[in-house]
Amino acid sequence: MSERIVRARPLALVQDDLVDYEQAMDRMTELVAARQGDEIPDTLWLLSHPQVFTVGKRTAAEHLPDPSHGIPVIPTGRGGQLTYHGPGQLVGYLIVKLRPDEGVVDYVREVELRLVEALEKLGLPAERRETPPGSELLTGVWTRETGRKIVSIGMRAGRGVTSHGFALNVDGDLDPWHYAVPCGMPDVDMTSLARELPEPLVSEHVRRVVAEAFEASSAS
Query: Within a domain: residue 2?
Result: no
Structural domain including 187 reads 11-217
Q: Is the pLDDT of residue 10 over 80?
A: yes
- Residue 103: phi and psi, rounded to 5, are -115, 180
Query: Within a domain: residue 62?
Result: yes
Give the model's confidence band at 2: pLDDT under 50 very low, under 70 low, under 90 confident, else very high: low
Q: What's residue 77's pLDDT?
A: 81
Q: Return the CATH number at 28.
A: 3.30.930.10
Query: Within a domain: residue 207?
Result: yes
Query: Within a domain: residue 4?
Result: no
Tens digits of per-residue pLDDT, 24-83?
999 999 999 999 999 999 999 999 999 999 998 778 899 999 999 999 999 998 867 899
Query: Within a domain: residue 3?
Result: no
From 3-12, 125-134, 206-215, the region with the lowest mean pLDDT: 3-12
Query: Within a domain: residue 27?
Result: yes
Question: For this structure, is 183 an active site residue?
Answer: yes
Do residues 182 and 89 lie in contact, with contact meaning Cβ atoms separated by under 8 Å? Answer: no
Tell me which amino acid residue 94 is: L
Q: How many degrees, rounded to 5, is the angle at CA 31 between CA 24 and CA 205?
A: 65
Q: What's residue 1's pLDDT?
A: 36
Q: How many domains does the chain have?
A: 1
Query: Within a domain: residue 5?
Result: no
Does the pTM exceed 0.85? yes
Distances (CA, A) of 63 to 13, 103, 167: 34, 29, 19
Region 189-200: what's the mean pLDDT? 97
Q: What's residue 184's pLDDT?
A: 87
Of all residues in the chain, what percent carry a pLDDT higher than 70? 96
Q: How far apart are alpha carbons 69 and 160 in whole angstroms? A: 38
Higher pLDDT, 135 or 164: 164
Q: Is the pLDDT of residue 85 over 70?
A: yes
Query: Within a domain: residue 92?
Result: yes
Region 97-101: what's the mean pLDDT? 95
Tens digits of per-residue pLDDT, 177-187?
999 999 888 99
Candidate list 71, 104, 168, 183, residue with the active-site label? 183
